[in-house]
Amino acid sequence: MAKKKNYYFTQETEDAIILYNKEENPTIRNVIYNKHIDYPFDKLAENIIHTFKFYYFDVSPNEVKHEVVSFLVMNMHKFKEGKGKAFSYFSVVAKNYLILNNNANYKKYKTHHDLIVLDSKKNAKKAMAEREAKADNKLFVELLVKYWEEHIFKVFSKPREIAVADAIVELFRRSNTIENFNKKALYILIREMTGIRTQYITKVINVMKKYNVKLINEFQTTGTVGVSSIYKWTTK
């Protein structure tokens, strides 16, 4: 297959560049550039950008093209007559400019992209961990309620203690609907539910805490709670 010829950057273009470099009158140079060089440079920049896929820039391809053309104009005086073809020379100049800037932008893009991916993975893992923790917490509360329903009368014997313990278990049942779960608010709720003074409530809570710590450890180890001998632990 015959090599495709370049019809926009011709010998006439090269001659115009040589003439431009020799001309000292700015007005005449401007006429030469606009008539013979502007379009070939524009087309050369456009073709190199798309042929070699120099797309990692913060601005549009059209703006990149204008940057390349400006760079070619800045380096036009370096082209020497008889030192090779102008098309080859300015193609290399354009490619070198694009390689330098494209690679720098690609590194920034890659770093930014990798950070986005990393953050996304971290967020996904965090969300999954939060969902799993929430599910585990819900299951533990359900098992805890079941445990105390079966063991209140084994752990406590006094009616006052049983009433407080039963009120606490009821709060466990309502845990999803209680917005304010601070200590003071819970004491008030238990007092309202039982009519029993704080000092007796505290005693029952402390006993249940000892059991609950062991139940949490059991749940984390086995995934369940309620070893048959658990109610025999000392409450003193």
Range of the domain at 45: 11-109
* Alpha carbons 161 and 236: distance in angstroms, whole number: 14
Are 90 and 18 contained in the same domain?
A: yes
Residues 6+ apart with CB under 8 A from 212: 144
In a domain, 115, yes or no: no
In one-letter notation, the amino acid at residue 129 is: A
For residues 13 and 86, the answer to whether their CB atoms sit within 8 Å is yes
**Model pLDDT for residues 20-66, shown as the tens digit of each residue:** 999 999 899 999 999 999 999 999 989 888 887 776 666 677 888 88
Are 162 and 101 contained in the same domain?
A: no
67: CATH: 1.10.1740
In a domain, 3, yes or no: no
In a domain, 227, yes or no: yes
Are 164 and 96 contained in the same domain?
A: no
Cβ neighbour number for residue 181 with a 10 Å cutoff: 10
Q: In the chain, how many domains are there?
A: 2
Q: What is the dihedral of CA 49, 53, 59, 63, to 10 degrees?
A: 10
* Alpha carbons 193 and 185: distance in angstroms, whole number: 12
In a domain, 133, yes or no: no
**Model pLDDT for residues 1-18, shown as the tens digit of each residue:** 444 556 789 999 999 999
**Model pLDDT for residues 106-124, shown as the tens digit of each residue:** 455 554 444 445 555 566 5
Residue listed under structure tokens 């896929």:
53
Quote the pTM value: 0.42
